[in-house]
């Protein structure tokens, strides 16, 4: 454990939302929060600073505006979490490299994700997508419109469970998050129906759906048994949906406080990919998304 949560800031509303979410998480975990901004054109900074050692903020300073939005974010955070230790850091290098290095030094990386509007679709910038695809540290993506809800009561934690190869790192993160936030954990498994479930009229045979769902519910219960024992205080709502995994996950993420998905993290010669489940969550989930790398 590094006992640090890092949030990337760039002066946008999305970044401020991410900072407020990260601050609450750091407060619950009793760890430090690091506010990080990176840009190759920054002037060199002597060292990370705290409020006790403020940086120069002369308007002629090349780093004036980065310091300004870091200070503004810090002020908003301390208004809600006055006892939280907060560090600020400017790094004069490529943002991807800086975030990648920061992830290695942190227990959690938090980034903002832009809301495209009423179609309930979001986008993660090129740097954010690259970071999510490469880092081995859990990363949480937060939308700008969740800013106002940063201190509101949270909804359930939702986790998508693959019964083919359940991910221990993802389940541990989801159970721990539900325990920490006092939330219900919705464990969701989506299962495609077999071909014989569909009749010639284009409908679905109810008995096949019932049979498939019953079998999957038994498997889901077995996959979660050890985690229920490890986290006895977490209330678990097990859900099997006879639809595609992505569709099931997004359907059950409505009203959630956090959606947890896994991403296979392996070193390949080809460029890493985030996978279709993470793609669906990143672009469509109506809540913060935690992407958990695993082998």
- CATH classification of the domain holding 108: 3.40.50.620
Clarify whether residues 8 and 142 are in a common domain.
yes
Distance CA 270, CA 266 (A): 10
What integer pLDDT is reported at residue 219 of this predicted model? 93
Q: Are residues 26 and 106 in the same domain?
A: yes
Is the domain of 43 the same as that of 107?
yes
Is there a domain that residue 176 lies in? yes
- Residues of the chain with pLDDT > 70, as a percent, come to 82
Claim to verify: residue 28 and residue 76 sit in the same structural domain:
yes
Structure confidence by residue, pLDDT tens digits, 7-25: 999 888 889 999 999 999 9
Do 100 and 194 lie in one domain? The reply is no
**Of the residues 146, 174, 196, the one at which a domain ends:** 146
Which one of 120, 146, 172 terminates a domain?
Answer: 146
For residue 133, give the 3-state DSSP assignment.
helix
Residue 233 lies in a domain: yes
Residue 152 forms part of a structural domain: no
Please give the Cα distance from 239 to 87 (Å, whole number).
41
How large is the average pLDDT for residues 121-147?
Answer: 75
Residue 84 class from Cβ within 10 Å (0-12 exposed, 13-18 middle, 19+ buried)?
middle
Total structural domains within the chain: 2
Give the Cα separation of 56 and 66 in Å (integer): 11
Do 83 and 11 fall within a single domain? yes
Same domain for 204 and 241, yes or no, is yes
Q: What mean pLDDT comes out for the span 94-119?
A: 84
Write down the pLDDT at residue 164. Answer: 78
Given this model, what pLDDT does residue 163 score?
Answer: 84
Per-residue confidence band for 147, with pLDDT thresholds at 50, 70 and 90? very low
* 148-161 average pLDDT score: 71
Q: What is the mean pLDDT of residues 246-257?
A: 90
pLDDT in tens, 51-71: 556 555 554 577 788 888 899
> Domain check: are 41 and 93 in the same one?
yes
- Tell me the residue range of the domain where 68 lies: 4-146
- Residue 151 within any structural domain of the chain: no
The per-residue pLDDT for 63 is 79
- Separation between Cα atoms, residue 285 and residue 170, nearest integer Å: 17
Average pLDDT over the chain, rounded to whole? 84
- Residues 168, 113, single domain; the answer is no
> What's the pLDDT score for residue 47?
57
Q: 290 near 260, Cβ under 8 Å?
A: yes
Kindly state whether residues 111 and 163 are assigned to the same domain: no
Q: Are residues 175 and 271 in the same domain?
A: yes
Is there a domain that residue 224 lies in? yes
Strand extents, DSSP E, the chain: 4-8, 32-38, 86-91, 108-115, 122-123, 139-143, 157-160, 185-190, 236-241, 258-264, 289-294
Where a domain ends, among 146, 169, 195? Answer: 146
Provide the CATH number for the domain around residue 283.
3.40.50.12370
- Res 28 pLDDT > 50: yes
Same domain, 74 and 177: no
User: How do residues 199-240 score in pLDDT, each as one tens digit?
Assistant: 776 678 788 888 888 998 999 999 999 999 999 999 999 999
- Please check the confidence at residue 113 and state whether its pLDDT lies above 70: yes
């Amino acid at each position: 454990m590094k006992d640090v949560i890092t949030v990337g800031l760039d002066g946008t509303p999305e970044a401020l939302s991410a900072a407020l979410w990260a601050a609450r998480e750091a407060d619950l975990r009793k760890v430090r929060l690091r506010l990080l901004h990176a840009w190759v054109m920054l002037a060199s900074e002597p060292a990370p600073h705290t409020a006790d050692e403020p940086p120069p903020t002369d308007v002629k300073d090349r780093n004036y505006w980065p310091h300004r939005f870091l200070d503004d974010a810090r002020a908003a955070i301390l208004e809600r979490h006055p006892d939280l230790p907060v560090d600020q850091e400017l790094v004069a290098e490529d943002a991807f490299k800086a975030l990648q290095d920061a992830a290695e030094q942190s227990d959690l990386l938090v980034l903002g994700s832009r809301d495209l509007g009423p179609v309930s679709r979001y986008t993660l910038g090129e740097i954010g997508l690259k970071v999510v695809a490469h880092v081995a540290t859990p990363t949480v993506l937060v939308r700008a419109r969740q800013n106002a809800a940063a201190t509101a009561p949270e909804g359930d934690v939702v986790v998508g469970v693959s019964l083919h190869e359940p991910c221990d790192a993802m389940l541990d993160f989801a159970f721990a998050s539900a325990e920490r936030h006092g939330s219900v954990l919705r464990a969701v498994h989506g299962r495609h129906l077999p071909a014989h479930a569909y009749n010639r009229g284009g409908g679905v045979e109810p008995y096949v759906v019932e049979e498939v769902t019953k079998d999957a519910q038994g498997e889901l219960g077995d996959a979660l048994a050890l985690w229920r024992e490890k986290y006895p205080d977490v209330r678990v709502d097990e859900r099997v949906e006879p639809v595609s995994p992505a569709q099931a996950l997004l359907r059950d993420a409505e009203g959630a406080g956090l959606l947890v998905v896994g991403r296979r993290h392996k070193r390949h010669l080809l460029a890493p990919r985030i996978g279709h489940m993470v793609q669906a969550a990143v672009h469509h989930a109506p809540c913060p998304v935690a992407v958990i790398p695993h082998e």
